[in-house]
Chains A and B, each alone.
Chain A
Amino acid sequence: MRKSKLLKLLSIIFAFALIAGACGGDDDDSGSSSDSSVLGEDSSEEEASASASEPAEEEAEEEEAEEEAAEEEAAGTADDSTMGDGAELWESIVDAGEVAADESLEPILITLVNIEGTPVGSFPEIREGAEAAVKTINETMGGLDGRPFELDSCVHGLDPNEATACANEIADAQPNLHIQGIDFFNPLLWPTIVGAGLPVLQTVPIFIEDFDTEGILSTEGGCVSSFPTAMEYGVEVLEADKYVIIYSDTAPGLVCYDDTERRMIQQLTDEGKIGQDDWVGISDASGDPTDNDAVVQQVLDFIEGSSNPWVYFGIQASDCNEILSALQANGYPGGIVASGSCRDDSVLSNPASAGVHFGSNFGITDRPDLWSDYKIKYTDWRDASFDRYGPSVPDSAFLETAHDVVITGLLQMIMFTGMGGDIDNDPEGFIDFMAAQSNLHRAGLETSLNCTNNSDEFVSVCAKDMNYYIWDGPGGQFEYGPLGPNNLDAAELILRAAEGNPRQ
C-alpha cells in the first residue's frame, strides 16, 4: 500500500489533532478554544429550553458602579427582610475582607453535570461560572468554616447514555451538594441523583420533571415562573381582548404549554377574566423556517377586529427571531410579550424586537441607574470574581447563573451548619432545610424566594414571580413596563389551577 504525500500530511495533522484534543482540555485557556466565540455576549439557548427563563444580563458600566458601591459599602446594602435570609450573611463575609480556606481541612465536595461540545448545545459557561465561584469561595470567603470547596464536573455530550454514566459517577461520589448544569437529559438523571439522596440545586431547569421532582430545588422558575405569570400579565395587566400563545412543539415545549400555559389561562377563563374564545394556543415547529408565515396568518385571523391584541411566546431564541420577523413582515399590528428565554443578543438586535415586553425575574437588565445598592455591589463583586478566575468564555447569563447558584449553595450551607446541621452526614436534613425556606436569598437577587408555597405538581420551584420590561429596540435599553419595579407573583394562580390538575 503506497500512500500519497497528501495522505501522509493528513495523517500527521490527524495525529497532532488527537494530541490536541486529548490535552487541550487540561487548560481551559489553551490553544484553539481561547480564540473562540469572541463575539458572543449571551449564551446560546439552542434547544436549551422552551421554558427556561434566564437571568438578566448585567454589564454595568463598571466605573460608575464601583463608585457607588464604595460610597454605600459602609452603610450595608443587603436586607434580609426584602432579599431573603442570607443576603446580609453574604455582605458580612465580603465586608470582612479576603480570607483563604484552609487547604488542609477536608474539602466540601460539589458536583456538576453539564453538556459541552455538541453541535446543538455546549455550555462551558455553566462549568466555568461554577469554577469561578469555587475559586472565589476558597480564596476570599474562607470556604465553609475554613473547609475548601472542591468541584467535580462530569461533562458529557449529546447522549443519554453518557448522562446516566455521569449520574452514576455523581451518586458514587456522594457530594455535599450537587449542582445540575444544563443537560438535555435531566429526567434520566433524577432517578439516580434523587434516589441517592443528594441535595440538588439546579441552574437552568428545562423539563417538567425538573419542576415536579421532590428533593431537588430550583432557584429559577423556568416555564413554571415564566408562563403562569405571562398568562396573568396578558389577561390582568395588559387586559388583552385577544391573547395568542405561540408554543414550541418540542418535548418540553408541549408539556410546558399544556401544564403551565393552557391550564393556567383556562383557570383565568373559568374565573371569568377572559372569554373562552378570546385566547388561543398555536404551535410552532421548532427550528423549522417553513411554517412561520403560516403561523402568523393564523394569528392575524384570530385577532381580526380586536382593539388590543397581544401575542405571547416562550420559545427558544432562534424561533423567537423567526416569529418576530414574520410578525413584522406580515404587518401584525398588536403587542408582543416574550419570555426571558427569547431574549438573547440576536433577538435584541432584530428591529422587530422594539417594543416587546420581555420577562425577567432578575430585575431590569443593563439599568444600574434603577438597581438597588445591593445589586450594584453584588454585580461588582461578581465581576471581580470572574476577573480572578479568568473565564475562557465571555460574560453571559449562564456564567452568572452558575456562579450565583454555587454562592447560594455556600450561603445555605453556612446557615444550615450555623443551626447545628451536619453537612457531611445529614443530606436529608440539608434538603429539608433548603426546602423549608419561605424567605430564600438567591445570591444577587433583590427579591426573596418562597419554597414553602410550591404547589404539589411543581414541588421544586421556589421562583414563581416575574417582571416584564419593555425593550426600546436595537441599540436601546430596557424600560419599566406597566408593573413598574414590582414582580408579578403567580404562586396563587398556580395553586388555584392545581386544584383541577388532571394529572394528580
Chain B
Amino acid sequence: MSALLVALIAGIGAGALYAMLGTGIVVAFRGSGVINFGHGAVAGYTAYSFHELRVTGSLYLPWFDPIPEFGFLKTLKINNLPVRIDIFDVTDPISGKPNLALTVLVCLLMSAFLGLLMHFLVFRPLRNSPTLGKVIGSIGVFLYLSSMMAVHFGGQNRYDAGFSGFNSTAGAVENFLGLGRTIPRSNFYLFGAAIVMCVIVWALYRFSRFGISTRAADENEKGAALLGYSPQFLAGANWVLASITAGAAGILFLHKTQPAQIALFVVGGLGAALFGNLTSIPGATAGGLIIGMVASGGVEITNYDWWPEILPPSGVRNFVPLLAIILVLYLRGDKLPIRGSISIGRQPRAPKTNNVSIGVIAALGIALLLSNIFVSKWEAVLTTTLIAIIFMYSLTVLIGFLGQISLVQWSISGLAAYVMIRLMADGEKIRETDFVTNSGWGWPTVLAFVAAIVVAIIFGLLVGLPALRIRGVQLAVVTIAAVIAVENLLLRNPPLMGDGSVSVNPTPSPNWFGQYVGGFNPNTARTDYWKFSLFLIIIAGLVGVGVANLRRGQIGRRFLAIRANERAAAAAGINVARMKLLGFGISSAIAAIAGCMIAYKLPGLQTDQFEIFGGLALLAFAYLGGITTVWGAIVGGCLIAGGLLPEFLGVHFESIDTGLINAVGAIGLVVNAKVTNGEGVALLQTDLGKNTLAMLRRPPDDESSENLNDEEAKV
C-alpha cells in the first residue's frame, strides 16, 4: 500500500508538465476559443531554442528560407531571409556558456513571438471560421512547428543540466512520510513550479484589467469591447501568455524529457485542460497533476499479481484519467462552456454531387487505366491513394456532412484491421518472412470482413455516445481519449488481438469468392497484385457512390440540417441523437472497410500506424481536398504522402526535401482553412471553372482576374 502511495505522489513530477501545458491550453482557449493541438510543439520549439542558445549561442527563427539556392537565384544570392541569428558568443573564456538568465529571457521572448505569429498568421484570420477550421488551423501549427524542429534542430535528443533543484542532482527525500521509500526532491520543486505558474496566471485573470476583460470576452465579445479592449487584442495577448507558459514548461522540463517529445505530450495537457472544463486554471493544474499521479501509481497497481492480463498496463494508466474526465464531461453535458463569440462562422458548403454515374465511370476509367499502364511501384501508389480515399469518405460523412469532429476514425480503421486479422488467423505462418504467427478462429474472409465492420460500428457508436451531449471542439478532444483507448487498450493487447499485436502483425491472405485479392503477389513478390487493385477500385467506387447518394438523399439532408442547427433539426422532427449515432455508425463502417483494405494490401501492420498523428494528417489532407464532398475526398486521397500527386511530383523533381514538404503542407492547410473554409481544392476548382466560364461570357474586370491569380498561387 505504501508503495502505491509513494508511486502516486512521485507522479506529481511528470504531472507538473501536464499541469503547465494544460494551463496554457486553457489560457489560449479563453482568449480565442481555440484548442491548440500545437501547444506542446511551442514548448518543444522553445526547449530546443534554449539548448541551442546554451550550446552554440544561435537562435533559429521559426521559419525557413523559402528561396532555394537554385540556378540563377544562387548567382544572385537573394536567398537571405534570415533564419539563424548568432546572439551569444559561446567562446566566452570565462563560463563557456551564455548567461543563463539572459538565455531564459530570450527564449521566453521567442515563445511570446511564436504566440504572436500564431495569432496573426493563423488564428486571427480564422477567427470567423467554424470550429473545424480552427481545429485544422491548430493541427497546421503542430505540423509546421514539428517540421521546423526537425529542419532546424534535427529532431535530436538534447540534454541540459537544467536548473539546480529541478534536476536529478537534487537528490531524493529518503523514507518519505515514514513510508520507507524515496521520492526525488526535484519532483516537489517541479510541483511547486506548476503551482506558482497556476497562481500567477490565475491572479492575472482574477485581478488585472486584462484578465477581467478576457473573462468578460469569454462570455460575450461585445462586452469586452465595452471595457475598452478589442477582442482581437485580448486574443493576441492571451496567445502570447499561453505561449510563454508553454515555453517556460519546455525549458523547465528539458532536463527531464526530450523537446521533440513534448510536442506529443499535448494530449496529456488537453486532458488536464478538460479537467478544468477548459476555463479553470486551478482545475487544469489539478487535472494535470492527477493525470501524472494516476499514470505513475498505475505502474505499481498494474504490477500486482491479481492484475488481469487482458488490461494492458500502459493503456490503463493513460486512459483511466481521461475516461474519468469524459464521464464528468458527459454528466455535465449541456452545461459545458461554448465560448461566446460575435460570429460562429459559416460552415463549409456541402453541395450535392450530381452526375454521380458520369463521375464514377470517369474515375473508375482513370483508375483502371492507371492500374494497367503503371509498373509495380505505381500500382502500390495507386492502391495507397484508393485506400486513403475510402478512409476520407468516412470523414466526409461524419465531419463534412454531420459536422461532428472526430479524430478517432483512423484508430477505428486500425481496430477493424486487427479484429479481422485475429478472426482470420489460424496459427499458420503466412509468409516466409513472418516472425509471429497469430492464433485465431480461422474465419473465412468475407465473414471476418463483415465481423470487423460490425465491431467497428459498435465501437463507433460507443464513441458517438458522448457526441449526444458534447459538441464541437470538446468532442474532438474527447475522441482523442478514444484514440488512446483503441491503441493502448485494444490493439496492443495480446490476449485480445493475438501475439502479433505487440509486434508486426502479419496480415492473412484474403480470399473473396475463390479469388485471392491480397495486395502481395506471391508469384512476383511485389505488392502489386492486379486483382487487389481491381477489387479496391470496385470497393472505392461503391463506397464513393454510396456517400454521394447519401448526400443526395434524405439522410444527407438530415445530416446537414443537424450540422447547421440542432435545435431547428429537432423542431423539424429529426431525432438528432439517432442521426448522430447513424453518422458515427456509417462513418465507422467506412473507416473499417479502409482498415481491412490496408490489411489486405500490406504484409503486416503495426499499432503505431494508427496513432493519433497519422489520423490528424489524413484529416488534414481530407480538409485540403475538401471535407464536404466526395470529390474532396478523392482530391485529398491523391494529395497524401505516398499518394499519386506527390509521387508524381517526386518523379520529376528527384527527391523532394520532405522536411520542408510538411511545413509547406501545414501552411497550405492554414491558407486553405481561411480561403476555402474547408471546401478544399475540389470545390475551389469547381468555382474557378465556373468563374472562368462566367468571365469569358462578359468582359473581364480587374478584380476577378486578380482573384484568379491569387487562387492559382495558392493551389
Interchain CB contact under 8 A, B169 and A351: yes
Q: Tell whether A191 pairs with B656 under 8 Å between CB atoms, given A44-B157, A347-B157.
A: no
Interchain CB contact under 8 A, B10 and A117: no
Contact for B261 among A20, A29, A287, CB less than 8 A? A287
Q: B92 within 8 Å of A by Cβ?
A: no
Interchain CB contact under 8 A, B671 and A44: no
Q: How far is the CB of B603 from chain A (nearest CB, A)?
A: 5
B-contacting residues, A32-73, CB 8 Å? 32-40, 42-46
Q: How far is the CB of A467 from chain B (nearest CB, A)?
A: 24
Contact for B659 among A33, A34, A297, CB less than 8 A? A33
- Complex Cα distance, B312 from A251, in Å, reads 14
Q: A331 within 8 Å of B by Cβ?
A: yes
**Which of B206-214, B347-355, B443-451, B521-529 touches A?**
B521-529
B-contacting residues, A291-318, CB 8 Å? 291-295, 297-298, 300-301, 317-318
Interchain CB contact under 8 A, B380 and A168: yes
Q: Tell whether A37 pairs with B157 under 8 Å between CB atoms, given A21-B664, A195-B525, A297-B3.
A: no
Q: With a CB–CB cut-off of 8 A, which chain B residues contact A283? A: 313-314
A-contacting residues, B24-82, CB 8 Å? 52, 55-56, 58, 64-70, 79
- Complex Cα distance, B113 from A467, in Å, reads 48
Interchain CB contact under 8 A, B11 and A293: yes
Q: A190 within 8 Å of B by Cβ?
A: yes
Residue on A with the closest CB to B6?
A297
Q: How many contacting A-B pairs (Cβ < 8 A)?
A: 410
- Complex Cα distance, B647 from A351, in Å, reads 46
Residue on A with the closest CB to B184?
A329
Q: With a CB–CB cut-off of 8 A, which chain B residues contact A295? A: 299
Interchain CB contact under 8 A, B70 and A351: no
A-contacting residues, B373-422, CB 8 Å? 375-377, 379-381, 383-384, 387
Q: A372 within 8 Å of B by Cβ?
A: no
Interchain CB contact under 8 A, B657 and A33: yes
Q: Residue-by-residue, is A69-96 near B (CB-CB < 8 Å gives 1, otherwise 0)?
A: 0000000000000000000000000000
Contact for B647 among A12, A165, A184, A318, CB less than 8 A? A165
Contact for A6 among B125, B156, B525, CB less than 8 A? B125
Q: B106 within 8 Å of A by Cβ?
A: no
Q: Residue-by-residue, is B289-315 near A (CB-CB < 8 Å gives 1, otherwise 0)?
A: 001100111111001000000000110
Interchain CB contact under 8 A, B377 and A165: yes
Q: A160 within 8 Å of B by Cβ?
A: yes
Contact for B149 among A3, A33, A119, A318, CB less than 8 A? A119
- Complex Cα distance, B9 from A297, in Å, reads 12
Q: A238 within 8 Å of B by Cβ?
A: no
Residue on B with the closest CB to A2?
B703
Interchain CB contact under 8 A, A194 and B186: no
Q: With a CB–CB cut-off of 8 A, which chain A residues contact B158? A: 346
Q: B151 within 8 Å of A by Cβ?
A: yes
Residue on A with the closest CB to B295?
A290
Q: A209 within 8 Å of B by Cβ?
A: yes
Interchain CB contact under 8 A, A294 and B433: no
Interface size class of A (residues with CB under 8 A): 35 or more
**Which of B13-21, B464-472, B557-565, B567-575 touches A?**
B13-21
Q: How far is the CB of B449 from chain A (nearest CB, A)?
A: 20
Residue on A with the closest CB to B13?
A293
Q: With a CB–CB cut-off of 8 A, which chain B residues contact A436? A: none
Q: Residue-by-residue, is B601-638 near A (CB-CB < 8 Å gives 1, otherwise 0)?
A: 11111111100011000000000000000000000000
Q: With a CB–CB cut-off of 8 A, which chain B residues contact A255? A: 435-436, 502-503
- Complex Cα distance, B261 from A24, in Å, reads 27
Interchain CB contact under 8 A, A164 and B527: yes
Q: With a CB–CB cut-off of 8 A, which chain B residues contact A171? A: 376, 524-526
Q: With a CB–CB cut-off of 8 A, which chain A residues contact B431? A: 191
Interchain CB contact under 8 A, B261 and A209: no
Q: Tell whether A208 pairs with B435 under 8 Å between CB atoms, given A7-B674, A157-B642, A168-B377.
A: yes
Contact for B502 among A10, A161, A168, A254, CB less than 8 A? A254
Q: Tell whether A168 pairs with B528 under 8 Å between CB atoms, given A17-B66, A43-B156, A289-B265.
A: yes
Interchain CB contact under 8 A, A161 and B601: yes
Q: How far is the CB of A360 from chain B (nearest CB, A)?
A: 18
Interchain CB contact under 8 A, B154 and A40: yes
A-contacting residues, B584-610, CB 8 Å? 601-609
Interchain CB contact under 8 A, A294 and B296: yes
Interchain CB contact under 8 A, A44 and B155: yes
Q: A493 within 8 Å of B by Cβ?
A: no
Q: With a CB–CB cut-off of 8 A, which chain B residues contact A13? A: 66, 667
**Which of B196-204, B229-237, B251-259, B335-343 touches A?**
B251-259
Q: Tell whether A285 pairs with B156 under 8 Å between CB atoms, given A119-B150, A301-B3.
A: no
Q: Tell whether A194 pairs with B433 under 8 Å between CB atoms, given A117-B662, A297-B6, A326-B184.
A: yes
Interchain CB contact under 8 A, A192 and B525: yes
- Complex Cα distance, B609 from A184, in Å, reads 10
Q: With a CB–CB cut-off of 8 A, which chain B residues contact A161? A: 380, 383-384, 387, 601-602, 642
Interchain CB contact under 8 A, B67 and A15: no
Q: With a CB–CB cut-off of 8 A, which chain A residues contact B434? A: 209
Interchain CB contact under 8 A, B707 and A3: yes
Q: Residue-by-residue, is B426-458 near A (CB-CB < 8 Å gives 1, otherwise 0)?
A: 000001111110000000000000000000000
Interchain CB contact under 8 A, B660 and A188: no
Interchain CB contact under 8 A, B667 and A17: yes
Residue on A with the closest CB to B120?
A6
Q: With a CB–CB cut-off of 8 A, which chain B residues contact A326? A: 168, 184
Q: How far is the CB of A100 from chain B (nearest CB, A)?
A: 24
Interchain CB contact under 8 A, B260 and A330: no
Q: With a CB–CB cut-off of 8 A, which chain A residues contact B713? A: 11-12, 14-15
Q: B227 within 8 Å of A by Cβ?
A: no
Q: B653 within 8 Å of A by Cβ?
A: yes
Interchain CB contact under 8 A, A20 and B6: no
Interchain CB contact under 8 A, A288 and B641: no
Q: B520 within 8 Å of A by Cβ?
A: yes
Q: B111 within 8 Å of A by Cβ?
A: no
Interchain CB contact under 8 A, A254 and B503: yes
Interchain CB contact under 8 A, A159 and B641: yes
Q: With a CB–CB cut-off of 8 A, which chain A residues contact B168? A: 325-326, 328-329, 351-352
Q: How far is the CB of B177 from chain A (nearest CB, A)?
A: 14
- Complex Cα distance, B167 from A166, in Å, reads 45
Q: Tell whether A10 pairs with B671 under 8 Å between CB atoms, given A117-B661, A251-B607.
A: yes
Q: Tell whether A187 pairs with B604 under 8 Å between CB atoms, given A25-B657, A196-B525.
A: yes
Q: With a CB–CB cut-off of 8 A, which chain B residues contact A291? A: 295-296, 298-299, 314, 317
What are 5 A-B residue pairs whose CB atoms fall within 8 Å in the complex?
A17-B66, A39-B52, A44-B154, A188-B602, A503-B435
Q: Using CB atoms and an 8 Å cutoff, list the residues of chain A in contact with chain B.
A: 1-4, 6-8, 10-27, 29-40, 42-46, 116-122, 153, 155-162, 164-169, 171-172, 184-185, 187-188, 190-192, 194-196, 207-209, 212-214, 249, 251-252, 254-255, 283, 285, 287-295, 297-298, 300-301, 317-318, 321-322, 325-326, 328-331, 344-347, 349-352, 393, 503
Known pairs A167-B526, A330-B184 / 15 extra A-B pairs, C-beta < 8 Å: A7-B710, A14-B664, A24-B656, A32-B64, A32-B660, A39-B56, A46-B155, A46-B258, A119-B263, A168-B526, A171-B524, A191-B520, A209-B504, A251-B504, A317-B157
Query: Which 6 pairs, one residue from A and one from B, show the smallest C-beta to C-beta distance?
Result: A195-B525, A117-B658, A37-B154, A329-B184, A294-B299, A290-B295
